[in-house]
RNA sequence: GGCCCCAUCGUCUAGUGGUCAGGACAUCGGAUUUUCGAUCCGACAACGCGGGUUCGAUUCCCGCUGGGGUCACCA
């Protein structure tokens, strides 16, 4: 079952990083294309001059590549149906609009924003739905020129036929809109740019898109798009509207959440793909997780490689129900992926993470880093590595002692912890070969001779060496730190006793 | 408010005209443990309500309720 003529696309507008919801839309389009041997196209929808952000396009592409979602045609790889940026296709949009005007299928309108606003308010006051009233006769080109000369805004509206419209949706089934539901909407803005509706339809036709998978919030736009297609004589692609994804509390996942979290003194939630990268997630875990929000291969399958998903993906297994983004489950999945990753993948994954952050471990060579990663068995994200072993590779002076940790492990019982450090120093100094095994053995031996529990020794040591109670197992910790630094830090810690 | 979509554990979901309604995450309990992770074992937990259709509905139909989306010269 393959379909080489199948073409899907992802068409983000360049307003920032790739949103996690957008990533899912991109993934589903990609999955379908890969499943059926079709093509996946990336197109940049930059018709809103106000909102475009220069860096955004590059970021979007970087995030997609990071997730492993690659495209066959796009702004940077070109292809037979370009250009793949809407701002570079203005002539085509204008020509099409002209054609519609000439055919009487679209017409000029000169209303100001204020006038429209007033009409809408009035309709609302009368509890009626506002529908733009088509003038009769339609304004001529001369009228448009006069309006322009008079400084009025000139837009083009589609003359929408008064007929029922049935949208065939691959996920939702047939959705019917009564005649008159769709008003004469704007297809060309007064700034000379097409609206989204007009541009998508022209682009999808031009790029021979056969399947449009997009978020369900576009469902109400679909009749508009089909009306444009009919006016232009285009065929209609297959539509599939994906269920929405929300926060756990049911609210929209928005970049604003981050600002809200910061304002509330919380750690900002991850919203963009890039945020998850910075938080230390593995892209394959993210891809697996987002695929499962709104889609399921059945048979209780959850863990899947990209290839497995590609084999299993079908439109008829996409759900209609909207979902919530369960970060706990993502974290658990990431933990599993990390546990299952090869040392080499962990290494490359961490390098990737470090490139996007200011990880204190960025400067380590591969051998050191691999050792650090191995010492942290059971970690959940790459960020955990930073907190767990970061202090071991920082300068001695940068170690600050957590007061709670000091109180609990060192100062308690008249400074028992400090006393332990003192007694332990010669033990450590006498370890002939500084390996995790030897150090563990020496410390265990010390515990036995002094009737101490492992925690009584390990915890004071941890605090002395890192300022905190978190580090790999004590032998690993000492090995990663090295003999000299260990003895230095123990001394330094005892000297700081207040 | 108009239009449209949706409805299985707290969450993501599997599933069937007759099932002990399954899995995963979370939660709770226990085990393990030198910290934080992690790991192991166990438990709790769902078919929104009301009508039909049917020998029998969680499953099919209708209504209700609830949730959501959308009503721009944004995409």
How do residues A54-69 score in pLDDT, each as one tens digit? 899 999 999 999 999 9
Q: Are A208 and A8 in contact (CB under 8 A)?
A: no
3-class secondary structure, A406: helix
Judge if the beta carbon of A54 is closer than 7 A to nucleic acid strand B: no
Query: Mean pLDDT throughout A340-360?
Result: 97
pLDDT, averaged across chain A: 94
Q: What is the nearest nucleotide to A169, using C1' and CA?
A: B5
Residue A497 has pLDDT above 80, yes or no: no
Judge if the beta carbon of A103 is closer than 7 A to nucleic acid strand B: no
Judge if the beta carbon of A422 is closer than 7 A to nucleic acid strand B: no
The encoded tokens of residue A334 equal 């990431």
Q: What is the nearest nucleotide to A378, using C1' and CA?
A: B38
Position A498 scores a pLDDT of 62
Given the structure tokens 């269920």, which residue do they identify?
Answer: A243
The encoded tokens of residue A203 equal 């682009």
How do residues A365-421 score in pLDDT, each as one tens digit? 999 999 999 999 999 999 999 999 999 999 999 999 999 988 888 888 888 889 899
Judge if the beta carbon of A247 is closer than 7 A to nucleic acid strand B: no
Please give the Cα distance from A353 to A385 (Å, whole number): 11
Please give the Cα distance from A177 to A201 (Å, whole number): 19
Judge if the beta carbon of A473 is closer than 7 A to nucleic acid strand B: yes
Which residues have CB under 8 Å from A342's CB, separation 6+? none
Which residues have CB under 8 Å from A365's CB, separation 6+? none
3-class secondary structure, A354: helix
Query: Mean pLDDT throughout A70-97?
Result: 95
Q: Give whole-number Cα distances, A443 to A377, A379, A391, A435, A487, in Å.
A: 21, 25, 22, 12, 14
Among the listed ranges A48-62, A154-168, A184-198, A473-487, which one has the minimum average pLDDT value? Answer: A48-62
3-class secondary structure, A245: strand
Q: pTM of the predicted model, to two decimals?
A: 0.95
Position A452 scores a pLDDT of 87
Which residues have CB under 8 Å from A250's CB, separation 6+? A324
3-class secondary structure, A131: coil
CA A2 to chain centre: 30
Task: Count CA atoms closer than 13 A to A497's CA, side-chain side.
Answer: 18
How do residues A232-255 score in pLDDT, each as one tens digit? 999 999 999 999 999 998 888 888
Residue A1 has pLDDT above 70, yes or no: no
Please give the Cα distance from A437 to A358 (Å, whole number): 32
Please give the Cα distance from A217 to A193 (Å, whole number): 23
Q: Where are the alpha helices (DSSP H) in A341-482?
A: 343-356, 366-375, 382-389, 403-406, 412-429, 436-449, 454-466, 474-481
Rounded distance in angstroms from the CA atom of residue A444 to the C1' atom of nucleotide B27? 37
Phi-psi region of A415 (alpha: psi -120 to 50; beta: other; left: phi over 0): left
Residue A468's CB: how many other CB atoms inside 10 A?
19
Query: Mean pLDDT throughout A77-105?
Result: 95
Ordered DSSP codes for A45-90 = ----TTT--TTHHHHHHHHHHHHT---SBBTTTB-TT---BGGG-H
Query: Mean pLDDT throughout A139-165?
Result: 96
Judge if the beta carbon of A16 is closer than 7 A to nucleic acid strand B: no
Which residues have CB under 8 Å from A340's CB, separation 6+? none
* Residue A155 DSSP class: E
Cα dihedral A6, A11, A17, A20 sign: negative
Q: Are A212 and A289 in contact (CB under 8 A)?
A: no
Rounded distance in angstroms from the CA atom of residue A440 to the C1' atom of nucleotide B47? 55
Q: What is the nearest nucleotide to A50, using C1' and CA?
A: B74
Helix axes A90-102, A222-232, angle to 10 degrees: 70
Position A294 scores a pLDDT of 96
Position A369 scores a pLDDT of 97
Q: Which nucleotides of B are covered by protein (CB under 7 A)?
A: 1-8, 10-15, 22-26, 33-39, 67-75
Strand order through the sheet with A186-188: A106-109, A155-158, A186-188
Q: Is A433 exposed, middle or buried (0-12, 13-18, 19+ CB in 10 A)?
A: exposed
A383 noted as active-site residue: no
214-243 on A, CB < 7 Å from strand B: 216-221, 243
Rounded distance in angstroms from the CA atom of residue A493 to the C1' atom of nucleotide B36? 21
Report which residue is nearest nucleotide B38 when distances run from CA to C1'.
A378
Q: What is the nearest nucleotide to A153, using C1' and CA?
A: B73
Judge if the beta carbon of A462 is closer than 7 A to nucleic acid strand B: yes
Rounded distance in angstroms from the CA atom of residue A220 to the C1' atom of nucleotide B71? 9
* Residue A408 DSSP class: I
> A39-42 and A7-10 as β-strands: parallel, antiparallel, unpaired?
parallel
Please give the Cα distance from A203 to A409 (Å, whole number): 66
Rounded distance in angstroms from the CA atom of residue A183 to the C1' atom of nucleotide B49? 37
Position A156 scores a pLDDT of 98
Percent of chain A with pLDDT strictly greater than 90? 85
The encoded tokens of residue A422 equal 């003192």
Least Cα distance to A218 among A199, A238, A241, A195 occurs for A241
How do residues A408-448 score in pLDDT, each as one tens digit? 888 888 888 898 999 999 999 999 899 999 999 999 999 99
A255, A383, A408, A423: the active-site residue: A255
Position A231 scores a pLDDT of 98
Please give the Cα distance from A17 to A476 (Å, whole number): 38
Q: Give CA angle at A387 (A17, A375), nearest 5°.
A: 115
How do residues A278-330 score in pLDDT, each as one tens digit? 999 999 999 999 999 999 999 999 999 999 999 999 999 999 999 999 999 99
The encoded tokens of residue A386 equal 């930073």
Residue A77 has pLDDT above 70, yes or no: yes
Residue A52 has pLDDT above 90, yes or no: no
Percent of chain A with pLDDT strictly greater than 70? 100
Report which residue is nearest nucleotide B39 when distances run from CA to C1'.
A378
Rounded distance in angstroms from the CA atom of residue A127 to the C1' atom of nucleotide B9? 42
């Amino acid at each position: 079952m393959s379909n080489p003529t199948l073409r899907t696309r992802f068409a983000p507008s360049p307003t920032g990083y790739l949103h996690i919801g957008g990533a899912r839309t991109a993934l589903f389009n990609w999955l379908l294309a890969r499943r059926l041997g079709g093509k996946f196209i990336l197109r940049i929808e930059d018709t809103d001059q106000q909102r475009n952000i220069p860096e955004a396009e590059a970021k979007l592409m970087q995030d997609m590549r990071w997730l492993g979602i690659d495209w066959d045609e796009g702004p940077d790889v070109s292809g037979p149906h370009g250009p793949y940026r809407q701002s570079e296709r203005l002539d085509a949009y204008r020509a099409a609009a002209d054609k519609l005007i000439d055919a009487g299928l679209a017409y000029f309108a000169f209303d100001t924003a204020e006038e429209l606003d007033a009409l809408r308010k009035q309709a609302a006051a009368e509890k009626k739905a506002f529908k733009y009233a088509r003038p009769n006769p339609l304004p001529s080109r001369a009228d448009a020129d006069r309006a322009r000369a008079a400084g009025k805004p000139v837009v083009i509206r589609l003359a929408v036929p008064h007929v029922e419209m049935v949208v065939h949706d691959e996920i939702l089934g047939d959705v019917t809109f009564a005649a008159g539901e769709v008003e004469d909407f704007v297809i060309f803005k007064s700034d000379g740019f097409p609206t989204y509706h007009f541009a998508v339809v022209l682009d999808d036709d031009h790029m021979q898109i056969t399947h449009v998978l997009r978020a369900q919030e576009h469902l109400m736009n679909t009749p508009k798009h089909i009306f444009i297609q009919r006016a232009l004589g285009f065929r209609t692609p297959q539509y599939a509207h994906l269920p929405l994804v929300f926060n756990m509390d049911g609210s929209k996942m928005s970049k604003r959440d981050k600002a809200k979290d910061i304002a509330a003194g919380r750690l900002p939630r991850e919203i963009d793909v890039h945020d998850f990268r910075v938080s230390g997630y593995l892209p394959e875990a993210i891809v697996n997780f987002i695929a499962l929000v709104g889609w399921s291969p059945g048979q209780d399958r959850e863990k899947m490689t990209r290839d497995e998903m590609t084999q299993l993906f079908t439109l008829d297994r996409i759900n209609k129900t909207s979902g919530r983004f369960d970060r706990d489950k993502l974290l658990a999945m990431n933990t599993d992926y990390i546990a299952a990753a090869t040392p080499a993948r962990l290494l490359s994954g961490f390098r990737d993470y470090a490139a996007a952050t200011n990880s204190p471990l960025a400067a380590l060579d591969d051998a050191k880093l691999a050792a650090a990663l191995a010492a942290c068995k059971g970690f959940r994200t790459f960020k955990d590595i930073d907190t767990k072993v970061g202090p071991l590779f920082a300068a001695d002076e940068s170690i600050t002692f957590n007061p709670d940790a000091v109180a609990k492990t060192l100062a308690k019982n008249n400074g028992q912890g400090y006393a332990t450090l003192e007694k332990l120093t010669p033990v450590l100094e006498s370890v002939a070969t500084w390996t995790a095994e030897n150090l563990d053995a020496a410390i265990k031996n010390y515990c036995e001779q002094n009737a101490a529990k492992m925690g009584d020794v390990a915890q004071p040591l941890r605090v002395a060496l890192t300022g905190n109670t978190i580090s790999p197992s004590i032998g690993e910790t000492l090995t990663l730190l090295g003999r000299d630094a260990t003895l230095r830090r123990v001394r330094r810690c005892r000297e700081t006793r207040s």
